[in-house]
Amino acid sequence: MDILIIEDNKTYQKAIKYYLEKNLLFVNCKIISSFSELKNQQKNYDLYICDYNLEDAPNGEHIKQLISQKKDVIVLTKYENVSDFIRNNVLEFILKEDHSMLDYLVKFIKRIIKNKNIYVLVVDDSLLIRKHITNILSKLKFNVIEAHDGEYAIKLLQKNQIDIVITDLLMPNLNGNDLIKHIRKKYTMSELPIIVISSQDEKKEFIKSLKLGANDFLKKPFLKDELVLRIHNILDLYDSYKKVNKKLQIDSLTNVYNRYYLEHHLEKVFNLYENKTIAMLDIDFFKKINDTYGHQYGDKILEHFAKTIKSVVRKSDIVIRYGGEEFLIFFPNTTKKEALIILLKIKRRLQECDYNYTFSAGISDEGSSLPEMIKIADERLYKAKKEGRDRIIIE
């Protein structure tokens, strides 16, 4: 990331540059100290960090020019009273109070980098309010999807991987509280945060929404900063939850997903795709391997098998240690014949390795639910083992 620092105070220049390059990876900072230098810049930067008052731009003229050029700008200043135009059209407005402003600056930049992968669902029957929120969030690099009521929001949630929901309360067809109820049937407060916005003055309504599972409540009309800070604070907690949760989801031996992921998350992914396939794989004669060579050798076989599977499957495929020596692979947008090709590649890889073992498998793309598809694939796996092992059954 290339950052241009526009600051006429040499102490601040050095401090900002040092702090950013120390705490952010892949950051290159250049410093200039005047509006005239900015006018002569030929290069486009990813981010502009600007002091509000420069000797040749006492009223933020350099910032106004950058805004007119659709640049991403963060303003640093000692003054709170600046024009609403500047405040509303920059990414962030940070007061130069003490050293903590540099901590916040780094935290904010890290957040907007992460925002590029965050999908926000904005639900409001007012087009004007939806566009207002979308405009704020888009500038902060969020991916925004809009819904005009709760019913349409539910359809979008089924088709898209949403990270946070912002919803109005009073809407036709399905109101905000009913939408919260629907979402909380599938997602916990940690899995999918919800912020409710409303013009209602009744605190009882706020409390009701929070009891139903909203993470936060924002009263209309709201300040841009208020909306941004609430979203960023929730997402910071959400990130922490995901880090902890990911550790819970990974099998420590094979480094693939475990039963916890299967039971708590796979169904949500399963429902996102119209076409999908599941394969159940089982290492042949694994008990004999353990009894003959010992459990440590058996662990090496499990590690090797998982590593081989991961080396063949695509990034979109999900590998799960189902239990013991049995593994499940979820193939999105894949038929069972296409999944068979992938499993045959895994077999060829095993034939080329130093370890001497095989696997049996059952594949299914039939079934309307995850449990049903797993059941069919597992029955075919049982059939493969009954028929002599080292084979794949798809019918």
Domain segments of the chain as ranges: 2-111, 116-248, 259-393
Q: What is the pTM of this model?
A: 0.68
Q: Are 241 and 293 in contact (CB under 8 A)?
A: no
| Each residue's pLDDT tens digit, 223-241 | 899 999 999 999 998 888 8
Res 200: pLDDT: 77
The length of the chain is: 395
Q: Are 39 and 126 in contact (CB under 8 A)?
A: no
Q: What is the mean pLDDT of residues 303-330?
A: 95
Res 264: pLDDT: 85
Pick 116-248's CATH classification: 3.40.309.10, 3.40.980.10, 3.40.50.10140, 3.40.50.2300: 3.40.50.2300
Q: Which residues pair with 32 in a beta bridge?
A: 6
DSSP string over 130-187: HHHHHHHHHHTT-EEEEESSHHHHHHHHHHS--SEEEEESS-SSS-HHHHHHHHHTT-
Does 245 score more than 80 pLDDT? no
Does 271 score more than 80 pLDDT? yes
Pairwise CA distance, residues 127 & 175, whole Å: 16
Q: What is the mean pLDDT of residues 179-206?
A: 88
Chain centroid to CA 25: 20
Res 243: pLDDT: 80
Q: Are 165 and 154 in contact (CB under 8 A)?
A: no
Domain 259-393: CATH class, spelled out: alpha beta
Q: Are 167 and 150 in contact (CB under 8 A)?
A: yes
- Which DSSP letter does residue 30 get? E
Does 354 score more than 90 pLDDT? no
Res 115: pLDDT: 95
Q: What is the mean pLDDT of residues 247-268?
A: 91
Res 25: pLDDT: 84
Q: Which strands form 73-77's sheet, in the order they lie side by side?
A: 28-32, 2-6, 47-51, 73-77, 92-95
Q: What is the mean pLDDT of residues 269-297?
A: 94
Res 240: pLDDT: 85
Cα-based distances in Å from 298 to 141, 302, 349, 353, 385: 47, 6, 19, 16, 19
Higher per-residue confidence, 244 vs 326 = 326
Q: Which residue has the tokens 């909380």?
A: 184
Backbone angles phi, psi at 258, to 5 degrees: -115, -170
Does 364 score more than 90 pLDDT? yes
Res 246: pLDDT: 78
Most confident listed range (43-52, 184-193, 231-240): 43-52
Res 181: pLDDT: 95
Q: What is the mean pLDDT of residues 124-149?
A: 95
pLDDT band at 247 (very low <50, low <70, confident <90, very high): confident
Q: What is the mean pLDDT of residues 314-326?
A: 95
Q: What is the mean pLDDT of residues 339-358?
A: 94
Res 206: pLDDT: 84
Res 78: pLDDT: 87
Q: What is the mean pLDDT of residues 375-391?
A: 95
Q: What is the mean pLDDT of residues 172-180?
A: 92
Q: What is the mean pLDDT of residues 137-153?
A: 96
CATH code: domain 2-111 is 3.40.50.2300
pLDDT band at 287 (very low <50, low <70, confident <90, very high): very high
Pairwise CA distance, residues 129 & 132, whole Å: 5
pLDDT band at 244 (very low <50, low <70, confident <90, very high): confident
Higher per-residue confidence, 31 vs 199 = 31
Residues 6+ away with beta carbon under 8 Å from 355 = 300, 301, 304
> Which region among 81-85, 222-226, 271-275 has the lowest average model confidence (pLDDT)?
81-85
Does 85 score more than 80 pLDDT? yes
DSSP string over 211-227: HHT-SEEEESS--HHHH
| Each residue's pLDDT tens digit, 151-168 | 999 999 999 989 999 999
If you average pLDDT over every residue of the chain, what do you get?
Answer: 93
Domains 2-111 and 259-393 share a fold: no
Query: Which tokens sit at 255?
Result: 């480094």
Does 202 score more than 80 pLDDT? no
Res 162: pLDDT: 94
Q: What is the mean pLDDT of residues 136-159?
A: 95
> Which region among 113-117, 267-271, 380-384 has the lowest average model confidence (pLDDT)?
267-271
Res 199: pLDDT: 84
Q: What is the mean pLDDT of residues 137-147?
A: 96
Q: What angle do CA 37, 38, 43 make, to 5 degrees?
A: 110
Report the relative pairing of strands 194-198 and 164-168 from DSSP bridges: parallel
Higher per-residue confidence, 357 vs 26 = 357
